[in-house]
Amino acid sequence: MDALQAILTRRSIRKYTQQAVSDEVIENLLKAAMSAPSAHNQRPWQFIVIRDRDKLNEIPNFHPYSQMLKSAPLAILVCGDKKALTAPDYWPQDCAAATQNILLAAHASGLGAVWLGVYPDNNRQEKLRKLFALPTHIAPFALISIGYPAEEKPSVNRYDPDRVHYDQW
């Protein structure tokens, strides 16, 4: 799948088969994440690959939009490392770019995925910090539920020419 096709056909997938995601595929998702652009090349991201069924089942107890984790074979927690940042205000943008790269790489690999917002919700951040014993300088940013899709969603044309302006408003 080429990049534009992946972008235009990616959808949020919340239903999965129980097929395991291989270590090789997970590594490719993380390679894609770490290839994201980053302010001053600070690359503040850290990742937790979650396959532990008890932890996946615990998250919906405090994250109201994460029920799909109960059937997902895998999730990735994208975190920002706030230590030694050269552009401290930009770590959320860097982590967002890494998150989007994971979503696109998952789709291009035949996986389904959905971005579950964490940052800036303090309650979600603190519960994830506790569940995964995160050091204080690590900020949970986004959680991505991943698996082989058990649902299909058609692509949607979201292009709106009324939102495009050339050279001035």
Dihedral sign, Cα of residue 52, residue 100, residue 126, residue 15: negative
Pairing mode, if any, of strands 112-117 and 74-81? unpaired
Tens digit of each residue's pLDDT (9 = 90 or more) over 85-115 = 999 999 999 999 999 999 999 999 999 999 9
Residue type, 77: L
- Cα(81)–Cα(162) distance, rounded to whole angstroms? 38
pLDDT value at 8 more than 90: yes
Taking the domains of the chain in order of start, what are their residue ranges?
3-151
Distance (Å) of CA 102 to CA 47, 86, 164: 11, 24, 27
Band of residue 84 on the pLDDT scale cut at 50, 70, 90: confident
- Closest Cα to residue 106, out of 7, 15, 4? 7
Over the stretch 16-71, which tens digit does the pLDDT of each residue have?
999 999 999 999 999 999 999 999 999 999 999 999 999 999 999 999 999 999 99
Cβ pair 35, 98 in contact under 8 A = no
Phi then psi for residue 47, to 5 deg, are: -130, 140
pLDDT in tens, 106-152: 999 999 999 999 999 999 999 999 999 999 999 999 999 999 999 99
Query: The pTM is what?
Result: 0.97
CATH fold of 3-151 reads: NADH Oxidase (3.40.109)
